[in-house]
A = this chain, B = another copy of it.
Amino acid sequence: MATPHEPKQDRSRATRLRLLESTIDTLAETGWAAATVAVVAERAGVSRGAAQHHFPTREDLITAALEYMFDIRMEHSKAEAAAFRSASAHTAAQDPARTEAVVAQLVESYTTALFKAALQVWTHAAADPALRERIVPLEARFGRVSHRLAVEALGVDDADPVAHHLVQATLDMARGLGLADVLTDDSARRKQIVHQWAATLHMALHAPR
């Protein structure tokens, strides 16, 4: 049932989302120092007063943006995993092309504006214990979900320690490739690494042992 308050609430929610999107773009493109409530509000086309109503302090804004980034990353990961399940309904886990597609998609998810924005926050948090305390539980949860989704997409058994650690290693390699892409366009080299690692991973996961 609609109530007279809904349209205002919708507008308020839309403003909040615009501010959070603007925070991510600002972090990714202009870095930590620029990501203040004033700069983010201007970029979002929101008045400073309205922005401060939603986020009284910069800390509030960054914390909310982190949670929002976490939610989007989880949604992306889940959507990708679902796409793989439907695309690979007729493809056996033993198909090397499936492994390469999964690795490629995983790696690409570490080259997005979201990763670049998160890197700004992580790096700042390295020297800011209060911020670090807020991030660490989110990252731990994200790590567990990413791992579980990668295991499902690859169609392997996580109870097998070889599979478990190689999926972890693949996520670590993806993170390293994400970092390598921050200062220069590393896509040509990355493509070759993904191709070779997918072949090696596939062998290790599916070779008889």
Contacts and interface: CB of A to CB of B under 8 A. Distances in A.
Interface of A: 29-34, 116, 119-120, 122-128, 132, 135-136, 139, 161-162, 165-166, 168-169, 171-180, 182-184, 189, 192-193, 195-197, 200-201, 203-204
B122 A183 contact: yes
Counted per complex, copies of this chain come to 2
Nearest to A192: B165
Interface of A is mostly: helix
A135 B183 contact: yes
A2 to B, nearest CB: 44
A62 to B, nearest CB: 14
B193 A168 contact: yes
A180 B189 contact: no
A165 to B, nearest CB: 4
Contacts of A136: 183-184
